[in-house]
A and B are shown apart, each in its own frame.
Chain A
């Protein structure tokens, strides 16, 4: 494998000796991990491999990249994937307006009249627009955290392009030649699993599935992220959300929704009963059918959590 040595590059975490120590680091940043996720991130740093995180929306796949970057004092470079994304949005593009200006300037000064030389002058680094992938492997200093978000939204062809970058750590620009990586970024890929990613890409990655947290861990997360919420309210909300997740909903609530809901209840006076829960349901459920189903089941839900 070519490219810089992964371990030496991740200096900020060079002293982190175990998944537990890494979990403590992330904890200090306000991100609660469990054994599995801490191990996955630890291995990604140590083995220098991309980490593919899958899981339902709202379990914190994207957030872990931000927490890691903050804790490591590393820049975070995010590539949001969407259908039709291609090299000009992910790798590089040329600054066409400035290229035209360049041609005009040359013409005006009469310096260059040979079309070949004129064309060669166009494809200078100055006119190169670095998109996230090129940016991530050619920065200087601290290796960045490269977040490739919602890869399942991109087309299959894009995966092939990504695979090339992630395995060779080079990007070839026809007009300029091959650009080699100066740093090896920490790469985190996320997928909501709307489709299966290509096996060749998965083979390069560590794989981890993030589950919804259990009620006790979610309680800790809520208390951490929304300090204004009283423990009693947070406990009730965490238990309610655990029940909601076992219901056949169109859109299962994520952690952010749990936090919002706890905040909403607190804003209304901090009394968690069936009527307050029903009035604030919009904070946690984002689909009309779900609102109807859960709203009518609210008394039994409250009974189930002992309120």
Chain B
């Protein structure tokens, strides 16, 4: 039995060797050139870098849109603000970014440093690099402001890129976030609380629509604020207001002046 097994094994070996050597001699299989493999590695590196840059761009855009629309300030308004922030966060874009990071991680596994690292460290490292790069792009450059201006004047590169910037500065009114100019300040009376009248204007909206650009809101201040002065705003100031929309107006739980960086 052992002799028969050995014979079969040797036969298999000879068949395999002969078959492969015949194919080599006939030219049916050829060595790929070194430049093929070098080229393949170069392509992987280029694709990885492109994914990294695209991912960082998306992160920077998310950061920019949160600032420009005022959603970032919601984080300073307690649990209500946090809830509104979570509801208005651009999760779709975030998910696309995560998919890009997963693809990038698979590409990095082509390299020794990639597969020798546990997945969580590799993904975590890539995530941190992308976040830092994205924030740096947003905070240190005026890339998004420039693209936004170009999109407004019809010169944004590419359909997708232009559509990304549609309404980027528009606060989500449905979630109770508004931006406008204070046009009137009312003090508290025995009959009612202090309030502001807020008016949106052309600078506030991306939509060239009179119905939207001429919106006016009555902002009712919280009971602990007996005048608009106590929130350190004055007539003519541009402010963000976070509040619950009720029939008698917006009941504010957070007010913040619009930072200069938002005016571009």
**A and B, one complex?**
no
